[in-house]
Amino acid sequence: MSFDWNNYVKLGNSLSKQNGEEYKRTAISRIYYGVLNLSREVIKPVSTEKFNRKHIWTQEQFSKYGKPESNQIAAILRRLKKKREKADYENFAADLDKELLFTQIEAKRLQQLIEKFKNNYLDKLNV
């Protein structure tokens, strides 16, 4: 049975309710990785690309479709990756609550777009 990446998003949302910077940083990271992998599985259920390129590869694949939803998915993934990098690597995190809220809103939008993309284009594109 394959892992349900929605559980990473749920974990991130759960962690976001805890007090402490470490929880908020981890929440941003888990939410990002959850939606990244949900996105990746839509276009390539069995991944063969190199681990360190999965982020960019996934963005590029959605951009290649040229559909409104796929372009939005790619753009949201780029923005969320930047938020995740800040949360994971920067020592000083200004407005962490704002960054977390942005991440949660964008992730929810991304999940909606993924469903719309799957329903509207996936069968027609033979992905």
> Would you say how long the chain is, in residues?
127
pTM over 0.75: yes
- Structure token digits, residue 75: 């753009």
- Which of 98, 103, 85 is CA-nearest to residue 35? 103
pLDDT in tens, 114-127: 999 988 887 665 54
Look at residue 51 in the predicted model and tell me its pLDDT: 58
pLDDT in tens, 30-51: 999 999 999 998 887 555 555 5
pLDDT in tens, 68-100: 999 999 999 999 999 999 999 999 988 999 999
Q: Which amino acid is at 37?
A: N
Burial of 44 (0-12, 13-18, 19+ CB in 10 A): middle
CATH 1.20.120 fits 6-125, yes or no: yes
Specify whether the CB–CB gap between 119 and 67 falls below 8 A: no
